[in-house]
Structure 1
Amino acid sequence: MKQSKHVVLLHAYSRRNSGDGLLVDLSVALLREALGERTQVSIVAADPASFPEYEDVIAAPVMGYAGSARIAEAAAACARWRTRSVTQLRARLHDADLIVGVGGGYLRARTGAEALKLELGHMLQMRAARASGKPVVYLPQSIGPTCAGSSASSSVFGARLKGLLGAYSTVFVRDDRSLSLLASTGCAVRAPDLAVLEFERRHEAVLAKAAQRSSSVRHVAMVLREAPSWDAAKRMHYARSVQRLAELLCGQCRLSFAVQSTGRGNDDAAYYRSLGIEATLPGLKQLLADDTPDVVVSVRLHGALESILHGVPAFHLSYERKGFGAYGDLHIDDWVANAASFDPDAVVQRIFRDDAIPSFWHAAAGGLDAVRASRTRIVETLRRAAQPD
């Protein structure tokens, strides 16, 4: 008789992006909360070597390879040939009681090139999950945009993505635009980001830790990244505003910089070097532990949320809808702004207001009942889905 459940966790990326690593850890923890500590979790990752602490991690087809091996995998995927990685994936799915998509914002494509990567990477995993006939639940996602090339191709591509998601048991989404996009499928349920759910679970410890710290702002840390694929005007505004914000902060407090991601095509250290910051910078997790700032300003959402989990208020310069969704769920909407159009002076005024830090934590504690209800719903959904017919 089977003693424990087996779950396959799809779409993991890399721990070299600490936000993506955090989402994998929170996904596994939620699965074990729902299904028991003995739950076997097989992880399908783009960078499997970056998750050595987990017992069963396999390379994602196409995404888990580099160089000529990736080209060969991509060619095989286009031809629908069964490679070793696809065979390995299907074997894991065949043995699973439940298939789960890790929380995040990876189901998107702004350009034709991004659409091709999505098709040959994540959507390959999605098709395999659907073909397995096993129950599939996706943890809180941001879905889209699905703009790829012409409006006609965009419509076809978006319909194909929605068709895959609509075949699953439940897709939890972490923002209202994603909910609207999937409204016709009947599979979508609104829920907070996994890190917001974790704040609810840990809130007593987080708030106790925050209460031990000063309410004065003498040290601010910035977590920056290169601007996404915006138009030239938005990229220029972002660059100038980031520089202006750093200058303003330097005039009022000690300023540090931290790195959140060093992954493939997502290297924050390279962006800092482009700004003329040549020093080796600490990772955010290290900075939070060893030189804790009073406030963090983060362009990366999970840099902001990881700071909050550490008991440090965070202002988020959001470059995607997910940031506004998460901060709305936490009731701290006045601590988030659009990275493409933000006002540096307004950010500084918000951070240095006399009651800034106490009011931040008071607001964050105010929405816990709704977050707790969402966590309960996700846990119950996972339990139902993992039960045999």
Structure 2
Amino acid sequence: MQHRTHVVLLHAYSANNSGDGLLVDLSVELLKQAFGDTTRVSIIAADPASFPQYSDVYPAPVLAEHGMARIGGVASVVLPIGNNGRTRELLRLLKTADVVVGVGGGYLRARNCMEILKLEAGHLLQMRAACLSGRPVVYLPQSIGPSMPAEPLRLHLSGMLGKFAAVFVRDDRSAAFLAHNANTHRAPDMAVLDFERRAAQIMTRAAKARPGVRHVAFVLRRAPSWTRRQRERYETATRRLIQLLRETCRISFVVQSTGRGNDDVAYYRSIGIKGDLMPLKELLVADTPDVVVSVRLHGALESVLNGVPSYHLSYERKGFGAYADLGVEEWVANAADFDPDKVVATILASGAIREFWTKASSGFERIRAGRQRVIAALQAALST
């Protein structure tokens, strides 16, 4: 009987954040393309119940806990790794794997002391377990590197990543952070990699689009850990953008995340937006907009994957890297300092939608090559 490849997929978060759920789905699809449809993928998730479509999901040490149990788990990081019960279970599972894979995303970063503690207690614990397993490890496209000056953490993080078979990064800052690690490779975001595979389907949908813009959907979220001035500027500019587009377009507000600490509904209510709020995934099918304006990167990319151009108001480096890989850099701006009039001019310009797809389609070969590099690295890891 032919051996069935077993992959353990680390660092999944929650499908209640549809961007994180999308990353898991895309990772599983990529793994089955690399190793075959019968591949067993065991998922380690902070919110395992949010992935009912998968039968092989396990709670992540510390991150899957709630309340005092999570606080106790955070405290346990000062103890040897085997002292945590769920970590022992993870180690046992990892030792049964042929390959260990880190899901794509942006979880290996920290901007302040609290985020450093969460990084250490949650994701670095999983990384240490991967190192101890003795199995080959590949990390799918990431944004990596603490943005606050914490040299011991930087050295610890880059040192562990340097032990893996391959680490893919999705932006140039991450590549610079790990430039001394020979196993680091630049590749597009997971959703961008999937763009090429679904190109024919995407372009068929895009061809049916109206030439003009009459319906714009917004995917908004609370501003991240910015200064008070940045948050005020973001909210003022966002309100102005909505007002300008409302003069000629129907506006919809949609939700992409209801997960822990990422409740988009609560944010909409806080800025006075009432009524029912449809998930982005449903709106793209039931009431397809002409354009999506998304503050969440994977809200933007999910829209593109469904044949709807999206202007991304990016609050992190990952957005600029993804849109550069897609070839549509004119459709991304810094969410903390964007010009609403310029965004409107880009979206409503004559022929804007046609030009978006012309530029995006020109990057197919580059994206295809990136996907093949990732698949080759996974297959090489399996053969070691």
Deviations 1:323-352 (A, max 9, x none): 000000010000000001100000000000
How does 1:112-127 map onto structure 2 within 5 Å?
112-127=113-128
Q: Distance in 1 between matches of 2:197 and 2:339?
A: 33
SS in 1 for 2:223: coil
SS in 2 for 1:240: helix
Check if 1:342 corresponds to 2:301: no
Check if 1:219 corresponds to 2:215: yes
Q: Distance in 2 between matches of 1:198 and 1:185?
A: 26
Q: Distance in 2 between matches of 1:251 and 1:278?
A: 20
Contact 1:219 1:254 in 2 (8 A): yes
Residue correspondences, number: 383
Contact 1:115 1:146 in 2 (8 A): no
Structure 2 equivalent of residue 10 of structure 1: 10
Contact 1:218 1:254 in 2 (8 A): yes
Contact 2:327 2:363 in 1 (8 A): yes
Q: Distance in 2 between matches of 1:309 and 1:374?
A: 17
The Cα RMSD (Å) is 1.0
Structure 1 equivalent of residue 191 of structure 2: 195
Contact 2:73 2:121 in 1 (8 A): no
How does 1:139-150 map onto structure 2 within 5 Å?
139-147=140-148
How does 1:1-389 map onto structure 2 within 5 Å?
3-80=3-80, 82-147=83-148, 151=149, 154-387=150-383, 389=384
Q: Distance in 2 between matches of 1:258 and 1:38?
A: 36
How far off its partner does 1:267 sit? 0.7
SS in 1 for 2:164: coil
Deviations 1:194-236 (A, max 9, x none): 1111110001111011101211100000000111111122111
372-381 vs 77-86, greater mean Cα deviation: 77-86
How far off its partner does 1:44 sit? 0.3
Structure 2 counterpart of 1:343, one-letter code = D
Q: Distance in 1 between matches of 2:205 and 2:226?
A: 38
How far off its partner does 1:2 sit? 5.8
SS in 2 for 1:95: coil
Structure 1 counterpart of 2:234, one-letter code = Y
Q: Distance in 2 between matches of 1:296 and 1:224?
A: 11
Q: Distance in 2 between matches of 1:142 and 1:265?
A: 20
Q: Percent identity?
A: 58
Structure 2 counterpart of 1:38, one-letter code = T
**Runs of 5+ in structure 2 lacking a partner?**
none
Contact 2:255 2:278 in 1 (8 A): yes
Contact 2:42 2:57 in 1 (8 A): yes
Structure 2 counterpart of 1:135, one-letter code = P
Structure 1 counterpart of 2:110, one-letter code = A
How far off its partner does 1:252 sit? 1.4
Q: Distance in 1 between matches of 2:361 and 2:114?
A: 42
Give the TM-score normalised by the residue count of structure 2. Answer: 0.98
Q: Distance in 2 between matches of 1:144 and 1:348?
A: 34
Q: Distance in 2 between matches of 1:175 and 1:128?
A: 26
SS in 1 for 2:3: coil
